[in-house]
Amino acid sequence: MRIPRNFIDRLINRIDLVDLINSYISLRKTGINYTACCPFHNEKTPSFTVSAEKQFYYCFGCGVHGTAITFLIEYQHLTFVEAVHELASRLGIEMEYEQGSSVKSYDELYQLMIEASKFFKQQLRNSTKAINYLKTRGVSGEIARDFGLGYAPAEWDILLKTLGTTPEKRTNLLKTGLVKQNDSGRRYDRFRDRVMFPILDKRGRIIAFGGRTLNQNKEIPKYINSPETELFKKRHELYGWYLANKLHPLKNIIVVEGYMDVIALSQAGIKNVIAALGTTITEDHIKILFSRVSEIIFSFDGDKAGQKAAWRALETSLPLIHAGRQVNFLFLPSEHDPDSLIRKEGMQAFSTRLTRAIPLSNFLFDTLIQQVNLNIPEGQAALIKKAKALLTRLPKGPYQEQMWQKLKQITYQAPQKRRRNFKHFKQITSLRELSLVHQAIVCLLHKPALSQSIENPKQLYGLKDKDIKLLHGLIELTLNNPQLTLDAICEHWRDTEYAETINKLSAQKALFTEAQINIEKDFLGAINRLYKDYMAQRMKYLTHNITSLTAEEKQELKSLYKSRGQNSQYEN
């Protein structure tokens, strides 16, 4: 759709940027301008400035700047067209489009959602059953009003008959998902005998509904939501976000699992709470939340389902966490959800629980530690492997570095006895810090098939190195079994003199990703240098005993002198 430039100019000229921004964040007059802590980056000293004279904003901290449209796009995550619509709506001006442009308007669908909401509200007033259900859940009339709660009667098609007064409206009811159509073409209400929860977008428009059944039949789903439509994309929407987003200031946000959790906490006075809409939390959801707050608290039930949901939220959050952002987890007693717990304990007790929420770092490592045995090297290696897969997803920076450091502290803070056993190993940060033999072993642990690239491994076995026999054995093992896993390799050396060494090197291996080392190049480089060391050792031995050499040994010495200055077949 094409919006005339002069129409946009009229909007910009009529809107007061100070009033617009002040409706989202609290501005304070400082001289001729207005200031606040920047909503686009975390800071303690205000550097975000709004000029009433120039109708322009600028942050001296992060450099963001722009007009009313820019602010809505960046702060509210609107498209350009949505931002223009928002300004026109605020000013009470009807949208204008260039003649001949293709305009796809959803105004009729939005209006139909409003009519449906009014219908459900009226039905709630007349339903003793629905009212009694809400009372048993502790929902007050005021909170029901604030969240626009309603009731869908049990009749098959009462909404369709009430609102579908024209063919166009009946088609639009189908488009909004309020009405379904079966294979035979019959249309009927999607929501029947359910308490209704309107779902609002970030602009406060009704885009969908959720419904909680009052039917006692256990085969009927307890909750259902509107399907995805042209208005409703659930991976971008959050229940309660419109109301929570109106809070000033909004210091953090609490993410719960259900509609009633949001409503119960809000009624108790905890307004900064939202829920996902029949789906797991997505990266888009977290981006939206971090656009307003620097701390997210996930509050889940304490049962296994809650633990799984929390872990999924953790994994989804990782790519979006950096210094200045926090993700914490609050686990409730297994027999409670936020709704039941706050009604039992009250707001103060629940708020106290929130202050004790577990930081993401603790939840991550505590969970992984429970899956391994840190009293044995294999357990340490397993922990590093599991943690590495997660920590590499964090953005590079101070937070990721601190997490790596925490992993190293956990891994190497072994009991005294185990530390004595491993005292000849040091914590490494570079592959080059290992001996050549250990470098080759670490590369083989990464990629066992590399042993196939050694043309004459027997030449290495005469080297004077305490672990050359381990390298020899590993090469022989992987030559015959190139598909061996790390666990199988470690198991092969269990209860041998090399068990400690192979287990520790497997832990060192886990510290390096394939992106951090060039496995094939580093492996062949280590083998080549070992081959040269062997030649040097052999030449020294033969030269020292030259008077007693056999004819075969003399020929070998001659060949070694001849090849000493030439590049080895393993040169990288």
Owning domain of residue 389: 371-421
Write down the pLDDT at residue 423.
41
Say whether pLDDT at 514 is over 80. no
| Residue 271: per-residue pLDDT | 94
In this prediction, residue 168 carries a pLDDT of 93
Residue 11: inside a domain: yes
Residues 67, 138, single domain; the answer is: no
- Does any domain span residue 308? no
- Confidence at 302, pLDDT banded by 50, 70, 90: confident
Contacts of the segment 7-11: beta carbons below 8 A, 24+ positions apart: 7/95, 7/96, 8/69, 8/84, 10/93, 11/68, 11/84, 11/87, 11/88, 11/91, 11/93
At residue 103, the pLDDT reads 46
Same domain, 520 and 440: yes
Residue 510 contacts residue 381 (beta carbons within 8 Å): yes
Q: Look up the CATH number of the domain holding residue 135.
A: 3.90.980.10
pLDDT level of residue 508 (50, 70, 90 thresholds): low
CA distances 271 to 119, 142, 232, 390, 419, Å, are 27, 14, 24, 32, 50
Task: Write down the pLDDT at residue 536.
Answer: 81
User: What's the pLDDT at 419?
Assistant: 39
In a domain, 119, yes or no: yes
Instruction: Quote the pLDDT of residue 376.
Output: 83
**What tens digit of pLDDT does each residue of 12-52 get?**
888 889 989 988 888 888 888 999 999 888 788 899 999 98
CATH number at residue 559: 1.10.860.10
For residue 467, is pLDDT > 70?
yes
User: How large a percentage of the chain has pLDDT more than 70?
Assistant: 90
Q: 153: part of which helix (H) or strand (E)? A: none
User: 73 and 196: one domain?
Assistant: no
User: Does the pLDDT value for residue 61 go beyond 60?
Assistant: yes
- 331 found inside a domain: no
Tell me, what amino acid is at 173?
A: L
One domain for residues 137 and 227: yes
Ranking 119-133, 469-483, 531-545 by mean pLDDT, the lowest is: 531-545
Name every residue whose Cβ is closer than 8 Å to that of residue 564 and which is 6 or more positions away in sequence. Answer: 535, 539
Number of domains in the chain: 4
Work out the average pLDDT over 447-474: 82
| Confidence band, pLDDT 50/70/90 cuts, at residue 149 | very high
H/E segment holding residue 191: none
Among 232, 262, 279, the domain boundary falls at: 232
User: Do 83 and 151 share a domain, yes or no?
Assistant: no
User: Is 515 found in the same domain as 398?
Assistant: no
CA distance linking residue 523 with residue 433, whole number of Å: 14
- Pairwise CA distance, residues 535 & 569, whole Å: 13
Kindly indicate the confidence band of residue 104, based on its pLDDT and cuts at 50, 70 and 90: low
The 10s digit of each residue's pLDDT in 258-281 is 899 999 999 999 999 999 887 789
Q: What is the pLDDT of residues 160-208, one digit of tens each?
A: 999 999 999 999 999 999 999 998 989 999 999 999 999 998 888 999 9
Question: Are both 484 and 522 inside the same structural domain?
Answer: yes
Q: Are residues 120 and 72 in the same domain?
A: no
Q: What is residue 34's predicted lDDT score, i.e. its pLDDT?
A: 93
Q: 405 with 446, same domain?
A: no
Q: Rounded mean pLDDT of 243-269?
A: 90
* Pair 415, 455 in one domain: no
Model pLDDT for residues 395-422, shown as the tens digit of each residue: 888 899 999 988 988 886 544 333 334 4
Tell me if 494 is assigned to some domain. Answer: yes
Q: Tell whether 114 and 169 lie within a shared domain.
A: yes
Domain closes at, from 207, 232, 257: 232
Q: What is the pLDDT of residue 569?
A: 36
Decide which of 214 and 515 is more confident: 214
Residue 273, strand partner residues: 254
Task: Give residue 324's pLDDT.
Answer: 81
pLDDT band, residue 568 (cuts 50/70/90): very low
Distances (CA, A) of 197 to 63, 239, 433: 40, 9, 61
| 364 assigned to some structural domain | no
* DSSP codes of every residue in 162-181: HH--SHHHHHHHHHHTSEEE
Residue 111 to residue 25: CA distance in whole angstroms: 29
| Residue 377 pLDDT > 90 | no
160 and 197 assigned to the same domain: yes
Query: Which of 232, 267, 292 is a domain's end point?
Result: 232
Bridge partner list, 181: 187
Structure tokens, 207: 């885009």
Please tell me the predicted confidence (pLDDT) of residue 146.
94
Do 341 and 333 form a contact (C-beta atoms < 8 A)? yes
In a domain, 403, yes or no: yes
202-228 mean pLDDT: 92
Which of the residue ranges 345-359, 371-385, 489-503 would you say has the lowest mean pLDDT?
489-503
For the domain that residue 64 is a member of, what is the CATH number? 3.90.580.10
311 vs 528: CA distance, rounded Å: 45
DSSP readout, 266-279? HHHT---EEE-SSS
Q: What is the pLDDT of residues 72-84, one digit of tens each?
A: 988 888 888 888 9
- The pLDDT, as a whole number, for residue 118 is 97
Q: What average pLDDT score do residues 485-494 get?
A: 72
Predicted pLDDT at 533: 81
Q: Is residue 241 part of a domain?
A: no
- When the pLDDT of each residue in the chain is averaged and rounded to a whole number, the result is 85
Q: Provide the pLDDT confidence category of residue 458 given band limits of 50, 70 and 90.
A: confident
